[in-house]
Amino acid sequence: MTPPRNCQTTASRRDFLKLGLGALMGGGLVDALRARSVAAPAGARPASCILVWMDGGPSHYETFDPKPDAPAEVRGEFRAIETAIPGIRFSEHMERLAAIADKLAIVRSIRHDQGNHGAGNHYMITGAPPRIPVGCGAFVSFHPSMGSVAAHERSAPDGLPSYFSMPSMTRSGGPNFLGARYAPFVVSDDPNANGFRVRDVAPPGGLEIDRVDDRRGLRERLDNFKRFADKAAGDPALALDEYYHQGYELMASPQAQRAFDVSQEDPSVRDMYGRNSFGQRCLLARRLVEAGVPFVTLNEGGWDHHVGIFDGFKKRMPRFEGAIAALIQDLDRRGLLDSTLVVVLGEFGRTPKINKDAGRDHWSNAMSVLMAGAGTPGGQVVGATDAYGFAASERVLSPENFVSTIYHKLGIDPAKILHTPSGRPTFIVSDPTPIRELMG
């Protein structure tokens, strides 16, 4: 009764173009076909992911999918600008990203049917739609987030947590059944502040290291609280044990302490990212990835532009996209871009018609997602929306495809099955097909 969600069985015009191009440029049809098959990413260093979450749902029109030929009430106030790649155009305020469009892949055709924040976040951040309907303000978790799965499947060296979220967790960014051990390490302090340090990761001043060790031993001997080992019991005391374990590892790790210290960075590099909270968080994210952390989420709210979208973008976007451009360029310069995936998105796009408050409302029929690095071929646009940006119309893709792409690049098999504490097998993503154009 239910029709296929999208038409993956039929090749589109673009597929043929892509295939033809691959055949011309590479080793012919065999290579082109191989590009379509699922293969583990090559390279010695497994990829990390920096996910920039634009909470609220950024407009596709005002970012990467401008529609300059649409009527004014759809087109909006901004014009489209040329990018480094002829034929690909971004919205007017995406200047610095436009200049490095050769490094970026933009997906314009991911769509889903979860038009509120709670559900949209859940779908994009976990790859699973919420199990039961949830409301707009919801912070829900029915499935582990990508960051938590990454933490479960990949570890970070030197006592570093393997999943960071700054300055807070996204709504559905938690571990769900994987358990608290795979929750994000949240750095809420502002790395742009003077004297920034990640707090509480070193013993209080004046306490000798021997005494720190003695206390640790004493604590273990005095702690006789019963633990319920059966995972099905969901004993929160086990999670706390895990946190103490992680906390000690972190305290004992000079590499971790160094990664946290953005002040060690050259001032000119700090300037390049922008001397603002988001800019410096991007820089901190790079340092963490450099130190081997597999997954970092930057949770940046304020993109729910029901009101005054143009003023909002004018004020915010130049600094915001400048920091992302700086991050990608800096990774590239350091040779880290090949092993670092940068992803920028929100829960959905925004309505075509500008509303009475000069805003746009929630719209999950179309959205734009930026990806760069980790072998993602740059300078391309995947899929398209229709002429006025109402809906994804070519190469229509699902959140499952999106999430599978990220897992794949992280070296995690998207078809993998994990088990809940009560023993239920659960696919990490229900459709493990990555977006082949992004797989390189």
Partner 1 sequence: MILGLVAILAGTAGAAEPSPTVTFERDVQPILTRAGCNAGACHGKASGQNGFRLSLQGFDPTFDHIAIAREEGGRRVHRPAPEQSLLLQKGAATVPHGGGQRLDPDGPFYETIRRWIADGLPRTPADAPKLARVSVEPTERALKPDEAFELRVTAHFSDGSSEDVTELSTYGSSESTTVAVDEEGRVRAGKLAGEATISARYEGLFANCDVFIPLEGDVDEAEYAAFPRANFIDDLAVAKWKKLGLTPSAVAGDATFLRRAHLDVIGRLPTPEEARAFLDDTSPDKRARLVDRLLERPEYADHWATKWMDLLRPNPYRVGIKAVFNLDGWIRQAFRDNLPYDEFVRRIVTAQGSTFEQGPATIFRDHRDPIEIAPVVGQLFLGIRLDCAKCHHHPFESWSQEQFYEFSAFFTRVGRKGTGLSPPISGSEEVVFTAKSGSLKHPQTEAELAAKPLFGEAPIPDDPDADPREALARWMTAPENRYFAEVMANRVWGDLMGVGIVDPVDDIRATNPPSNAPLLEALAADFRDHGYDVKHLLRAIMASSVYALESEPNERNVADARNFSRHYRQRLRAETLLDAVSDVTGVPDSFDASPPGSRAVSTWTNRIPSLFLDTFGRPDANQDPPCERTTDTAVVQALHLMNAPGVNQKLTSDEGRVAALAKGDATPRAIVEELFLATYSRLPSDEEREVAEALFQVPDKPRRAAVEDVVWALLNSPEFVFKD
**Footprint of partner 1 (CB under 8 A):** 1-4, 113, 115-117, 131-133, 135-137, 139, 161, 168, 174, 180, 183, 185-186, 188, 199-205, 207, 211, 214-215, 218-219, 221-226, 228, 230, 232-237, 239-241, 243-244, 246-247, 250-251, 301-302, 351-352, 365, 390, 422-424, 426
Which C-beta is closer to partner 1: that of 27 or that of 133? 133
* CA dist., res. 269 & res. 280, Å (int): 10
Dist. CA 412–CA 8, nearest whole Å: 22
From 139, 119, 59, select the one nearest 361 (Cα to Cα): 59
Q: How far is the CB of 289 from partner 1 (least distance, A)?
A: 19
Minimal distance in Å, beta carbon 233 to partner 1?
5
For residue 64, is it left (φ>0), alpha (ψ between -120 and 50) or beta? alpha
Residue located via tokens 């929750």:
183
Tell me if 414 sits within 8 A of 404, measured CB to CB: yes
Distance between CA atoms of residues 420 and 36, nearest Å = 32
Q: How far is the CB of 371 from partner 1 (least distance, A)?
A: 25
CB of 224 to partner 1, least distance (A): 7
SS3 82: strand
Which residue, 347, 320, 425, 300, is CA-closest to 124? 347
Looking at the Cβ atoms of 31 and 230, the one nearer to partner 1 is 230
114 or 368: whose CB is closer to partner 1?
Answer: 114
CB closer to partner 1 out of 12 and 422: 422
| C-beta closer to partner 1: residue 114 or 380 | 114
Q: Which is nearer to partner 1, 43 or 302 (CB)?
A: 302
Quote the least distance from Cβ 26 to partner 1, whole Å: 34
Q: What is the C-alpha separation between 294 and 311, in angstroms, rounded?
A: 36
Grouping H, G, I as helix, E, B as strand and the rest as coil, residue 359 is: coil
Q: How far is the CB of 18 from partner 1 (least distance, A)?
A: 23
Pick between residue 329 and residue 355 the one whose CB is nearest to partner 1. Answer: 355
CB of 52 to partner 1, least distance (A): 18
**Nearer to partner 1 (CB atom), residue 195 or residue 204:** 204
Q: E-strand spans in 346-424? A: 349-350, 362-363, 369-372, 380-382, 384-385, 392-394, 417-419
CB of 137 to partner 1, least distance (A): 5
Please name every residue paired with 297 in a beta bridge, in sequence order, or none if there are none.
Answer: 51, 165
Structure tokens at 149: 């799965």
| 239: Cα within 13 Å, side-chain hemisphere | 14
